A and B are shown apart, each in its own frame.
Chain A
């Protein structure tokens, strides 16, 4: 009786027979399906910041690693792989010091610079504590705005920031250079005050007296270098290793012009992180001064301290960029070749520990192959005992001592040859510190 009922309903067209859908039904269902749009034609690539390395100093800017804010979270001492840092503005310049980080944006808003990490010498300015309004924070765990005493805060733009061991420099486009932090060696460019207490200090010094506009600021461990538009270099700070390059081994507390082999030469880039300094001229020559205990300047002199800039006669081609680390140096030539020298893990396997003459790292280690012959290194950066190289394809290669996971490879072992860091985006710039690194990345789509 049931079968008869179904057949009568089918005949009357009151119900439709089920069964596997025919091809025509599938095609019609496909055409009727809704189309989703995840990214429109005007979708822009987003700029992001990724951080990795040692977290307990607060230099990574993620408070939940140090003080977990949920019951299930555990404190994370080391972040071994890149971790995204949410920032309010697009960060155009970043610098890593010894346990602290500065991020700067190119904006015209009032807040242009954020800092996080160690603040025991007020290298991040005065961060008013919420518990006690008269004291400041000694560790800043989140990117906090640094109030700069600008005359025209809504017009001036911050171009670049740089961090040393316990001091930092902020370069603006029209109001000179602002310095803050430890000044016991005059590295902030102001007179050394005996028994000055730097913790919780409000002092931010402004430097304007240079022969032309300053275009690059670089912090060494306890000294500062300023490069002007005319191609001259000024220095101040500790000079016991000759890193101020002024011809003596004393402290300098006012930025003074350097002479020596760079007098009259148009310098286009300066670099320093430890006690050795390198400068590159527009003709591709390399000049060095400062500490040479690790054979950094051994190609021109046997002395271990060089206090006057000396030309380094390397026959490696026209040099485009140089970077100084604690014990090793790296340069990038116009052809895209990377040369390393000095002491430590230089990037050519465990057998090369020290060399006074630059050695080239084969481009095949940076992703060059017959399949992709136009891959070349575009920038080189140095931390205290690590090196980083950025290729034109947006890949980041690191090598050197893996101090507290600062290489970002996910492993805790030292890396003896260039190794790719997996970052979900195209790496635009990277800043290396002692035990952490910060990178500015653009998303793919």
Chain B
């Protein structure tokens, strides 16, 4: 980054003594534009000695997926994005038949149960009820007075969401794959932690009169950033990062304008 050509040094006008035309010892002052010495790299040193990098929403060690980082000025945009309270989308993989103490497949086994009575229809019924109760929580924590016409109109458009602190809320959940004993869910949520999603898998198992552990948590969307915008490990170099920032700039600006307006 320091090797890249930096901004041009500032110029200023100085009156420099030059020997006068025509010889002799007389010295006259001639105006000339000279670069400011204070901007010279040898005086100032490298432009970037350290970078301020901030992280967006947390992603814990056992999960994977989209992780948003802000560099320098981007940290301020990160706080603005946080205040937008946009939903995040996860694919969560689960396994029926086991229950462990930290709800994931690497924890200590607590119980083993049968699961042959579970069908996709039963799972979808449970998911519908989870979505329903979380929808209620969405309306309740948004702190809008339910008796106003404005609340009714926002509810019709589906734009009500909590704009402050709230417990984790799932806005949408559906089953992507179901092959006993494994299943995969897509969850859209707000203000959650990955451990909460694993606990949700465990509770779905309990509700179906069996038990379940979570095998995989992968974030596929965080607000406006999707998996397509992400950089895998092989592309963690300067050019890709700069290109990625350029591509996302427009999306972030439009989203911030729309929500915080």
A interface residues (Cβ-Cβ under 8 A, vs B): 29-30, 33-41, 43, 348-351, 362, 364-365, 367, 369, 371-372, 393-395, 413-417, 419-420, 422, 426, 444-445
Contacts of B126 in A (CB 8 A): 444
Is A445's CB under 8 angstroms from B208's CB? yes
Given contacts A416-B147, A444-B122, A444-B126, contact A41 B117 (CB under 8 A): yes
Q: Is the CB of B155 within 8 A of A29?
A: no
Interface residues of B in 114-128 (CB under 8 A from A): 114, 116-117, 122, 125-126, 128
Answer whether residue B71 sits at the interface, using C-beta atoms and an 8 A cutoff: no
Interchain CB contact under 8 A, B210 and A39 = yes
Instruction: Give Cα A395 to B207, complex, Å.
Output: 17
Give the chain B neighbours of A41 by CB distance below 8 A.
Answer: 116-117
* A364 near B157: Cβ-Cβ < 8 Å: yes
Q: Measuring CB to CB, which residues of chain B are less than 8 angstroms from any residue of chain A? A: 97, 109, 111-114, 116-117, 122, 125-126, 128-129, 131-133, 135-136, 139, 146-149, 151-153, 155-158, 172, 174, 207-210
Q: Nearest Cβ in chain B — how far from A144, in angstroms?
A: 33
Query: If the complex has contacts A36-B111, A37-B113, A349-B149, are A420 and B156 also in contact, measured as CB distance less than 8 A?
Result: no
**Residues of chain B contacted by A394 (CB below 8 angstroms):** 125, 128
Q: Which of B122, B128, B133 has the most CB of A within 10 A?
A: B128
A30 and B109 contact, CB distance less than 8 A: yes
**Minimal beta-carbon separation of B147 from chain A (angstroms):** 6
A-B contact pairs, 5 of them (CB 8 A): A394-B125, A417-B146, A417-B156, A444-B207, A445-B208
Q: A420-B132, A426-B125, A444-B122 are in contact. Are A349 and B153 (CB under 8 A)?
A: yes
Across the interface, which residues of B come within 8 angstroms of A413, CB to CB?
146-147
A348, closest chain B residue (CB): B152
Residue contact A350 to B114, C-beta cutoff 8 Å: no
A392 to chain B, nearest CB (A): 10
B181 to chain A, nearest CB (A): 12
Q: A374 to B148, alpha carbons, bound, how many Å?
A: 29
Contact B147 A39 (CB under 8 A): no
Q: In the bound complex, what is the Cα–Cα distance between A296 and B156 (angstroms)?
A: 25
CA separation between A415 and B125, bound complex, in Å?
26
Specify the chain B residue showing the minimal Cβ separation from A375: B128
Structural contact, A445 and B133, CB atoms closer than 8 A? no
Cβ contacts under 8 Å, A38 to chain B? 113-114, 209-210
Could you say which residues of chain A place their CB within 8 Å of the CB of B207? 444-445
- Contact present for A39 and B209 (CB under 8 Å): yes
Distance in Å: Cβ of A37 to nearest Cβ of chain B:
4
Q: Apart from A36-B111, A350-B152, A395-B128, what are 12 other A-B pairs with CB-CB below 8 Å?
A: A29-B109, A33-B112, A35-B112, A35-B114, A43-B117, A349-B152, A365-B156, A416-B146, A416-B152, A417-B156, A420-B132, A444-B122
Residues of A within 8 A of B209 (CB): 38-39, 43, 445
Cβ-closest chain A residue relative to B133: A422
Nearest Cβ distance between residue A348 and chain B, in whole angstroms?
Answer: 7
In the assembled complex, the Cα of A34 lies from the Cα of B210 at a distance in Å of: 14
Enumerate the 3 nearest inter-chain pairs by beta-carbon distance, A residue then B residue, closest first.
Answer: A349-B152, A39-B209, A38-B209
CB-CB under 8 A from B135, the residues of chain A are 367, 420
Cβ-defined contact, B117 with A371, below 8 A: no
Interface centre among B135, B146, B157 (most CB of A within 10 A): B146
Check if B136 sits within 8 Å of A362, measured CB to CB.
no
Residue of chain B at shortest CB distance from A38: B209
Tell me if B149 and A444 are in contact (CB < 8 A): no
Which A residues are CB-close (under 8 A) to B128? 372, 393-395
Minimal beta-carbon separation of B145 from chain A (angstroms): 10
Q: A39-B209, A367-B135, A371-B172 are in contact. Are A350 and B129 (CB under 8 A)?
A: no
The answer to whether A40 and B132 have CB atoms under 8 Å apart is no
Min CB–CB distance B213 → chain A (angstroms):
12
Given the complex of chains A and B, what is the CA–CA distance between A413 and B209 in angstroms?
Answer: 36
CA distance A33 to B128 in the complex (A): 33
Instruction: Tell me whether B113 and A422 are in contact (CB under 8 A).
Output: no
**Contact at A350–B147, with CB atoms within 8 Å?**
yes
* A414 and B114 contact, CB distance less than 8 A: no
Smallest CB gap from A39: residue in B? B209
A415 to B145, CA, bound (A): 11
